[in-house]
């Protein structure tokens, strides 16, 4: 989508620190890191949020995205200490970019519940 920030990161039109990419997904550093490791994992296909990821094809995509995020976390050395994967959906959750993304956070003790 032409006016989507994360679609423009996928195409390289907007620079980002890419950690890993496949045809289906891209992982890049969050510009406003909230933990020593804070990476965003997005599908290359534009899907606004997890609530739109319905139907068998998108359910498969979601599974792949989660597995990809776990792989990225592992490659960034987070397996031992652990990490959190979270996706904000809609205004009450504070979603600020309408392109499905998983936050991968680690490298410090994370509090629960989130604010
Ligand atoms: P959310 O608030 O859950 O929608 O998350 C959006 C995330 O995108 C925030 O953590 C932002 O810091 C991050 N973000 C916004 N613009 C960029 C950018 N150009 N490069 C990397 N991360 C970004």
Q: What is the pLDDT of residues 56-81, one digit of tens each?
A: 999 999 999 999 999 999 999 999 99
Active site residue 101: yes
Task: Please work out whether the CB of residue 89 comes within 6 Å of at least one atom of ligand 1.
Answer: no
| 3-class secondary structure, 41 | strand
Q: What is the pLDDT of residues 91-112, one digit of tens each?
A: 999 999 999 999 999 999 999 9
pLDDT value for 14: 97
Instruction: Choose the catalytic residue: 38, 99, 101, 103.
Output: 101
pLDDT value for 78: 98
Task: Please work out whether the CB of residue 19 comes within 6 Å of at least one atom of ligand 1.
Answer: no
How far is residue 108's CA from residue 33's CA, in Å, rounded to a whole number? 12
DSSP H or E stretch at residue 26: strand 25-29
Task: Please work out whether the CB of residue 30 comes within 6 Å of at least one atom of ligand 1.
Answer: yes
pLDDT value for 115: 83
The three state secondary structure string of 76-106 is CCCCCCCEEEECCCCHHHCCCCCCCCEEEEE
Helix, strand, coil % in the chain, rounded to nearest 5: 30, 20, 50
Q: How confident is the model at residue 4 (pLDDT cuts 50, 70, 90)?
A: very high
Token code pair at residue 40? 């965003």
Centre of ligand 1 from the C-alpha of residue 29, in Å = 9
Length of the chain: 115
The pLDDT > 90 percentage for the chain reads: 97
- Specify whether the CB–CB gap between 56 and 71 falls below 8 A: no
The pTM score is 0.98
């Amino acid at each position: 989508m032409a006016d989507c920030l994360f679609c423009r990161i996928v195409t390289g039109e907007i620079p980002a620190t890419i950690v890993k990419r496949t045809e289906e997904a891209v992982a890049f550093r969050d510009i406003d890191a909230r933990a020593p490791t804070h990476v965003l994992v997005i599908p290359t296909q534009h899907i606004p949020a997890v609530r739109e990821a319905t139907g068998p094809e998108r359910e498969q995509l979601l599974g792949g995205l989660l597995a990809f995020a776990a792989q990225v976390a592992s490659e960034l050395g987070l397996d031992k200490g652990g990490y959190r994967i979270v996706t904000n959906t809609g205004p009450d959750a504070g979603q600020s970019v309408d392109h499905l993304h998983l936050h991968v956070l680690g490298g410090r003790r994370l509090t629960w519940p989130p604010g």
